[in-house]
Homo-oligomer: A and B are copies of this chain.
Amino acid sequence: MKNDIYSTYRLQAPPQLNEIKTTVVCPATEKHIKKYQRQESFLVEETGADYQSITLPYIQKQSFSVQWVYNILEKKAEADRIVFEDPDPTVGFLLLPDFKWDQKQVDDLYLIAITLQRGIRSLRDLTQEHLPLLQTIFQKGKEAILQRYQLPASKLRVYLHYQPSYYHLHVHFTKLGYEAPGCGVERAHLLADVIQNLQSDPEYYKTRTLYFPLRVDDGLLSKYKEAGRL
């Protein structure tokens, strides 16, 4: 049966505990197959120099298209899904529900704040000059979620991914207690921590060694292997 591929099954039997976990996804697309097939990941250690010599050239060469993000920012797509908007060209952003969230209940609330400012690829591009932008997203994002969904800041996990899925700065807002994919410490960076780190060291994300998982089929992993870094 086709769907068997997408069900994961785990059986643990420690002395006094039997635990069964299952996930069934039906129907499933090719993307789901890829997501749910056991894909091995490796933790990569990226120094500031590695970013310049390995990661950045890879990102630039791939020229991952973020045209779909620009379509959202220009209201050519998903305009009806916008939950909140700050139109300021420097510190402004759009807040939208993530596609993983069906918006039927706040238990798995998941929204994304996308900066209007273009050209900020990721955490690595952030310096002290972006503090007003980050603080605006943090404050106004939390306020908008309180107003729209009656969910206070104390119920939210607000973070960035590194590496991100796409190289246009965006921030994740998920409900605390909901184990959102990618909220693990190996990939997520609390926005509150990012702000504090930049306040105390403007070069924090330029100079720090950052750690992140890459799947075996990720082209960037090959680059790290070629460089003898794995």
Contact = CB atoms under 8 A, between A and B. Distances in A.
Contact of A186 (B16, B20, B100, B190): B190
A201 interface: yes
A192 B44 CA distance: 12
Contact of A20 (B23, B40, B43): B23
B186 A211 contact: no
Task: Name the 4 nearest CB pairs between A and B, nearest first.
Answer: A185-B188, A14-B102, A42-B154, A20-B24
A12 B25 CA distance: 10
Interface string A34-48: 000000111111000
A186 B177 CA distance: 10
Given A14-B102, A29-B16, A176-B213, A42 B155 contact: yes
Contacts of A228: none
A59 interface: no
Interface of A: 12-27, 29, 32, 40-45, 99-100, 102, 104, 108, 153-157, 159, 176-177, 179, 183-186, 188-190, 192-193, 196, 200-201, 208-209, 211, 213, 230
A93 B153 CA distance: 38
B190 A211 contact: yes
How many copies of the chain does the oligomer comprise? 2
A16 B188 CA distance: 27
Contacts of A157: 43, 184-186
Residue with the highest number of chain B CB atoms closer than 10 Å, among A23, A32, A184: A184
A195 to B, nearest CB: 10
A91 B166 CA distance: 42
B19 A27 contact: no
A208 B196 contact: yes
Nearest to A24: B20
Nearest to A101: B14
18 contacts: A13-B104, A17-B26, A18-B25, A18-B27, A20-B24, A42-B154, A42-B176, A43-B153, A43-B176, A157-B184, A157-B185, A159-B185, A179-B179, A179-B184, A183-B184, A185-B185, A190-B211, A196-B209
